[in-house]
Structure 1
Amino acid sequence: MTTTTGFLQRPWVRGAGLALGVLAAIILPLVFDAGTNSTLARIGVFAVAVLGLNVIMGYTGQVMLGQIFFVGLGAYITAYGVSQEWNIILVFILALALTALVGLVIALAAARLGGLAIAMVTIALPIVGVPLARRLGEFTGGSQGLSARFSGAPEWAPLYDDQWQLYLVLLIGGITFLLTRNLVRGKYGRAFAIVKENEAVAASMGISPYRYKVLAFTIAALIGGVSGFLYMVVIQYTSPETLSFGHSIELVISMVVGGAGSIVGSILGGAYYVLVPQLTNIIDPNLTAMLQGAILLLVLFLLPGGLVSLPRVIGRLVRRGDRGGGPGARSQAATPQPVAASHPSTEREQDT
């Protein structure tokens, strides 16, 4: 197992894997049908949303129950900018900058809190966001929402709309994941981990828990803005329902199921968010909530670290089996072996 791990860590192996991943991202959208491309694009959208949630909950250990608010805010900014015929690059920058700014303002007040207090603050975001979106009809379209069709394939690209949209999600989402990976594996990630482990220890080491909690919250909001922009790329419509608290809880569940504090777990969480409701609806639409709850409990009992921990759990079981030599060997080892009895005459001869 150690040899295999060392082999996978070699630079050329990792480079080859990255090259294969990029090649697959280029080829597969051309091979899949429109429905599959659309599903993969939606997985990418919510994988980015789960990634932002993971930064603050998985890596920094802070409670965040309102990530969908920032996703919806990014979607509304994008939809409004497109409806005003602003340059799409400017719209993208505004979607990121304004959501990060709102996240910073909220974080400056909320980061000093802890436990249930910060949970209540983040819960309030989607609860307040829904009626606010309905009242600001001039900007949000009110209860009717806003639609924005700007992500059709350009004339110079020989692609269908679904292929172009998936490429956009892969490009923007891939860059977001890469930057976040570098962040959490660098000095900021180490500081996040220390703050998560023990704030008193972090303070004694010269790491300000307040500053890093504000930073994590702001980054999570910014990534939520990226997800909101991609949401409009793929869904092309947003309404107050986008901000609903139920969606926020589903994002938290997706993060836990995929794996908290894991980049790959964020991708698995996005897949869970999109695919599991489809699966439960196919089984029985009336039992969707119950089936999703059963799946969540099953994952939590069998894989407390989320789906991302599955290879590690399998490897541990395999090593345990190898050490035991298999069921037969364990059974044989557990069975006491008979000890040959010494014949009395033999003992007397040895004494003599």
Structure 2
Amino acid sequence: MASASSLSTSSRSAAAPAAAAPSFRQRRWVRMAAPLVLALVLAVLPLVLPEFANETIARIGVFAVAVLGLNVVMGYTGQVSLGQIFFLGVGAYVTAYGVQNDWNIVLVFVLACLIPAVAGLIVALAAARLGGLAIAMVTVALPIVGVPLAKRLSEFTGGSQGLSARFADNPEWTGLYDDQWQLYIVLVIGGIVFLLTRYLVRGKYGRAFAIVKGNENVASSMGISPYRYKVLAFTIASLIGGVSGFLYMLVVQYTSPETMSFGHSIELLAAMVIGGAGSIVGSILGGAWYVLVPQLTNAVDASLTALLQGAVLLLVLFVLPGGLASLPRALTRGRRRSGADRGVGAPPTTPSSTAGSGTAAEGSERERQGPA
């Protein structure tokens, strides 16, 4: 019995370090090296890719930022917003107008961020007290009103003709081509926005957003004002929309009232859902979806573009309800489930279980024999 007990103890002590060992992704050197490797890849990528690939990645970056803004207000705070494309359009118009009037490009960037943020704050102050379909209707009005407003204010927007602006020609000292220079700017500005948003949603504000999303009554009981944080989230999303509008003009170099149409707003919402709501990585995947899927469906059959996009959307949501960002978790659950299925049957015999059964058998034999 003593040998069996010691064997059981030794087996438990041997299993403990294995259970406590961190996974590969959780190791400290991996967490430190991964950002450096990613930064190195992004620094080299524009230099080795062809022009078309650089332009496509730059467009993905533009709409990944736009989806990120939508994720702040919907994915993390749980507020319905169908007007994020409006703030992208405002940022694009401010950028185009400033460039055409030879304003300093830094001032143009600041205004392209602040003006949509102020507009979003004004809307949020009125709409954040609402909920459900009411706030959805308020945000739906933004692109619906924005399109005719842009056509009417032709002195600033160019009317139905729109505005074009080119301001991202590469400096001669860089030795880069225009597509490479533009992609570097998108990567730098977009990367900063993603990092700041990541710190935001993982800090105290992100925890407050999550509580408001879960239950506003619980948030109020904890001293967290749902109204305040909904206004904050909507304003931040509007500011990020303005950043995406600046990048849009950087890459596309043209904007018109069609830029902020309601159809594009729905496509942006679909991109967020497909990428993964409440996910930083999902915002990047949503941007890739927004840019690449229409190109792929047009290559298959231009007359069936909408039908094919809808079919792919339904297929992805049916297989991955949490969006593409949930694919690693789904694969992990699938491996665990398959491993459990293979282990169905007699439980494996371990030294501890053997020792325990031996001890129980000896005790039963002594009971049958009675006291000595």
TM-score under structure 2 length normalisation: 0.87
**Aligned partner letter, 1:220:** A
- 1:41 maps to a residue whose letter is A
Task: Give, as a single letter, the amino acid of the residue that structure 2 aligns with 1:192.
Answer: F
Task: Confirm or deny that 1:68 pairs with 2:85.
Answer: yes
For the aligned residues, what is the CA RMSD? Answer: 1.4
- Which amino acid letter does the alignment assign opposite residue 171 of structure 2? P
Counterpart residue identity of residue 199, structure 1: E
Tell me which of 274, 278, 301 is aligned to 1:284: 301
Between the aligned partners of 1:263 and 1:2, the Cα distance in structure 2 is 30
What per-residue deviation string (whole Å, max 9, x for no partner) do you get for residues 35-87 of structure 1? Answer: 00000000000000000000000000000000000000000000000001000
Residue 207, structure 1, aligned to residue 234, structure 2: no
- How far residue 277 of structure 1 moved from its aligned partner, in angstroms, is 0.4
Compared CA separation, residues 88 and 166, structure 1 to 2 (3 A): same
Helix, strand or coil at the partner of 1:61: coil
How far did 1:209 drift? 0.1
Q: 1:345 maps to what in 2?
A: none
Amino acid at match of 2:329: R
> Alignment partner for residue 149 of structure 1, among 160, 163, 166?
166
Kindly provide the amino acid, as one letter, of the partner of residue 297 in structure 1: L
Residues 104-148 of structure 1: CA distance to partner in whole angstroms, max 9, x if unpaired? 011000100111110010000000000000000000011000001
Q: 1-side partners of 2:101 and 2:119: how far apart?
A: 22
The one-letter code of the counterpart of 2:301 is D
Between the aligned partners of 2:244 and 2:21, the Cα distance in structure 1 is: 36
Give the letter for the 1:169 counterpart: V
Which residues in structure 2 correspond to 1:238-257 (within 5 Å)? 238-257=255-274
- Correspondence for 1:271 among 263, 288, 293: 288
Q: Distance in 2 between matches of 1:125 and 1:269?
A: 22
Q: Quote the Cα distance in structure 2 between the aligned partners of 1:188 and 1:75.
A: 28
- The residue identity in structure 1 corresponding to 2:249 is M
| Residues 261, 3 of structure 1: alpha-carbon distance in 2 compared, 3 angstrom cutoff | farther
Q: Which residue of 1 aligns with 2:100?
A: 83
Aligned to 2:153: 136
1:175 alignment partner in structure 2: 192
> Residue 2 and residue 231 in structure 1: after superposition, are their counterparts in 2 closer, same or farther (change >3 A)?
farther
Separation (CA, whole Å) in 2 of partners of 1:252 and 1:62: 12
What's the CA shift for 1:322? 1.5
| Alignment partner, residue 44 of structure 2 | 27
> Which TM-score applies when normalising by structure 1?
0.91
Classify 1:82/1:311 alpha carbon distance in 2 versus 1 (closer, same or farther; 3 Å).
Answer: same
- Residue of structure 2 equivalent to 1:197: 214
Residue of structure 2 aligned with 1:11, choices 16, 28, 46: 28
4+ residue runs over 6 A deviation: 1-5
Please state whether the residue corresponding to 2:174 is helix, strand or coil: coil
How many aligned positions are there? 329
